[in-house]
A and B are shown apart, each in its own frame.
Chain A
Amino acid sequence: MDWHYIREKLRPIAEGLFGKQRITRYEKPHYKIRELDYMLANLVRIPALEWRNYAFSREPLNGKFNDEQRLNWAAKSIECGESYAQRLISEYGTSDAKLLASKLALEVLYPQYPDKTDRVLFADFTMPNKINIFMDAVYRAERLLQKRSVKRVLTENLQLVNIILSHEIFHFIEERYKHEIFTRTERVRLWSLGFLHNDSGIYALGEIAAMSFARTLNDLAYSPYVMDMFLIYDYSAEDASGLYEEMMQLAGLEP
């Protein structure tokens, strides 16, 4: 008698009786799966300013803004990121993110939590000086970088950790210069009622500037926003393809 066969047959009954409660998950939308190098080749051609709609689509206050405001703010944020990158390079004499982090006395950790949901976390910055780079996404992307066609599009000596770290360093810089830096001083009036009013900062400006900062520091020919798609491709080619479609559409291009 084949014991394995019997066990397989009995499994549904055993799971019904002793199986864990099933956790309800929602059905994710489905997308046409595309080749990674095809998507990368198209995304690296998007000019920095054309990423603004994608950046603002993650902005909680986006519904309050018009296209003109988005364009104006995106241009200023890109300039802000570039100028602070130049300032740091000349001040500390290096454009290497790891070296810069140590000179700025940042505590950088590299946790390795596996990631598997529809929100993949690459890194976080916690006040006053702690940065986590979540290595699961990095390792997966580094495996993809072994492909020649991918390497050709993203440049030969791509340092993923440095790009991510640079982005987070900018958030540290934002805190340090919060009274003068554009991404923090720019505010928008949400509502006013007589003398009462509520002014708010705009989250997306910091993100756009951080991408521009990382781009300048790492001397990239394309926006690091490309990493959003690239770093999740190994988790789910379908989710990455969906994100690619969204990025292209928001940049006004045909996916």
Chain B
Amino acid sequence: MDFAIGVILLLTFFALAWYCIKGFNLMIGFLVITILWTVLPLFGTLFVSEEFLKANPVLMFEGGKGLVAILNRIYQSAPEGWGTTLVNVCWGAWFGRVLMDTGIASTLIRKTVELGGDKPVVTISLLNLVTALIFTSMTGAGPVIAIGVIVLPILMSLGVPKAIAMFSFMGAVASGIYLNPVNFAQYRAFFIKPSDMPDFTLGWYASHWGYAALAIMLVVTTLLAMFYLGRAKTHRQWAAQTRTPQAAQKDAPIYTLILPVVPVILNIAFNFSVIGGFVIAGFSALFLCGRMSGTFRENCQLVNKLYYEGVVDTAPLVGFLLTLPMFNAVAVYASPYFNVVIGGIMPKSELVVCVVFAVLLFMGLFRGPMTLVGCGAATLGVLSNVAKFSVPFLYGVFAIPTITVNIGCCITQSWVAWGLAYTKVESRDFLKLSIPNAYATGILQYAAVYLFLTGLGSAWMVG
């Protein structure tokens, strides 16, 4: 019977993969699968053998009270535990809005272009670097669009073909996200509670693999952009660019241009609180750029408005991420059944995992079974429960299809979809450039995972 339940669970997994790939609502999809994965394994204990239950104590519970305790763990404690991550997301979104409102982000871009001039190769390299730096602290569709409406027309006016401009900008954004403390906190929550592994900090992650992951994506994206540019024909466009708030913004003072990376530097160098860093850098930006020169009431309203706008930027993601902890919790109860069916064929060696994931990188596209912001959360639930891997290793393994492939190269990413409409690039033209980038970057990043994040020992294992 345990085998039959395992097969049914596997079928629901494939159904979820299909659901995600079709682009349906992730929040509801994961909620439905959580309910199914609660009912099937727990109700299934009535039919499975005594030996199976003894081998899997996680499925043994004492009557109605025990059942309620499990349900509370799945539907209450798990999403509550994610609350600590959510506050990071909200403050990060606020800081992103501050950088946009003060003109710091747009000034950084403009000054960068003024260094590079009309040489597309130089300017694209500098812009990629600065974009990556900006997105080490900013995240969400709002900030990407706000920077995109500055960067993309500049690149196109320099004669860079629109598809190359799009792929290069989106790749640079994704490379910055490798060091973004908000994204790090979000993805870490898929694997473990911060209190269960306090040593797995952004600083540890950055020094062991994060810097390498960022550098690989940035360099590969830039080199590919140069290669494509070398083969492309020069382009001039006549387009009407409607008025944007960024266009009217005055330059922010030069000394404030360091502020976007302050929270990340403070966190990595001193393990200083991420939210503390956002507050210090955010209010410094507001004061130094003269945005707090109104009355006390006006200043409060401004801070409040930016907070509101920032939270709205992240709202679609938050709903999905609040159902995910339930799913992560329920995967523990489903895993014994998965183990019966696929335990024998799941890779147990770190090298094999890296090779298999590198080959299957395309499954990170279209919210497929490799990306954490898609069906990959289910794959992680299966993989981490049927085999023993360290948390940093699993983080690296899943971060690549999530950040490099989904966020940086896939048309289902909200800001990529916006960029395609904005630049009038056909989806297939974008994918023709971005999929080679996903593979070139991803393979090198998996090599770095194998070099830096394998053989970490039992202290880094889950549980």
- A interface residue numbers (CB < 8 A to B): 16-26, 28-29, 31, 57-61, 63-64, 113, 115-128, 164, 167-168, 171, 175, 188, 190-191, 198-203, 206-207, 210, 227-229, 231-232, 236, 239, 242-243, 245-246
Contact = CB atoms under 8 A, between A and B. Distances in A.
B422 interface: yes
Nearest to B24: A18
A136 to B, nearest CB: 10
Contacts of B244: 29, 118
Closest 3 CB pairs of A and B: A200-B117, A24-B141, A228-B240
Contact of A201 (B114, B115, B118, B251): B118
Q: On chain B, which size bracket covers the interface?
A: 35 or more
B422 A119 contact: yes
Interface in B240-281: 240-245, 247, 251
A125 B158 CA distance: 13
B239 to A, nearest CB: 4
Interface stretch (B228-236, B298-306, B453-461): B228-236
Contacts of A202: 118
A29 B243 contact: yes
A160 to B, nearest CB: 12
Nearest to B140: A24
Contact of A117 (B119, B245, B251, B422): B422
B242 A58 contact: no
B258 to A, nearest CB: 19
Contacts of A59: 157
Contacts of B32: 17
Contact of A128 (B140, B142, B233, B240): B233
Contact of A122 (B154, B240, B245, B417): B240
A199 B417 CA distance: 36
Contact of B241 (A19, A31, A119): A119
A26 B242 contact: no
Given A20-B23, A21-B25, A24-B141, A168 B238 contact: yes
B344 interface: no
Nearest to B110: A63
Contact of B115 (A31, A188, A191, A229): A191
Contacts of A239: 242-243
Contact of A119 (B115, B146, B153, B233): B153
Given A121-B424, A198-B115, A239-B242, A203 B237 contact: no
B412 interface: yes
Contacts of A21: 23-26, 316, 412, 414
Contacts of A25: 141, 145, 418
B153 A23 contact: no
B313 A126 contact: no
Contact of B236 (A29, A124, A231): A124
11 contacts: A21-B23, A21-B26, A22-B316, A24-B141, A24-B415, A198-B122, A199-B117, A210-B238, A229-B240, A242-B243, A245-B243
Contacts of A16: 25, 28
B232 to A, nearest CB: 9
B25 A126 contact: no
A113 B305 CA distance: 38
B153 A20 contact: no
* Best-buried of A24, A59, A118, A128 by chain B (most CB within 10 Å): A24
Given A24-B140, A128-B233, A199-B117, 7 more contacts: A24-B414, A28-B242, A58-B157, A58-B241, A60-B154, A190-B114, A190-B116
Contact of B117 (A190, A206, A246): A190
Contacts of B423: 119
Contacts of B28: 16-17
A121 B233 contact: no
A168 B157 CA distance: 14
B451 interface: no
B240 A120 contact: yes
A24 B313 contact: yes
B158 A243 contact: no
A126 B115 contact: no
Interface in B413-452: 414-415, 417-418, 421-424
Given A25-B145, A199-B117, A243 B242 contact: yes
B113 interface: yes
A236 B132 CA distance: 34
Contacts of B141: 23-26
Nearest to A131: B236
Given A60-B154, A190-B114, A125 B236 contact: yes
Contact of A203 (B23, B158, B235, B245): B158
Given A21-B26, A63-B114, A118-B242, A203 B157 contact: yes
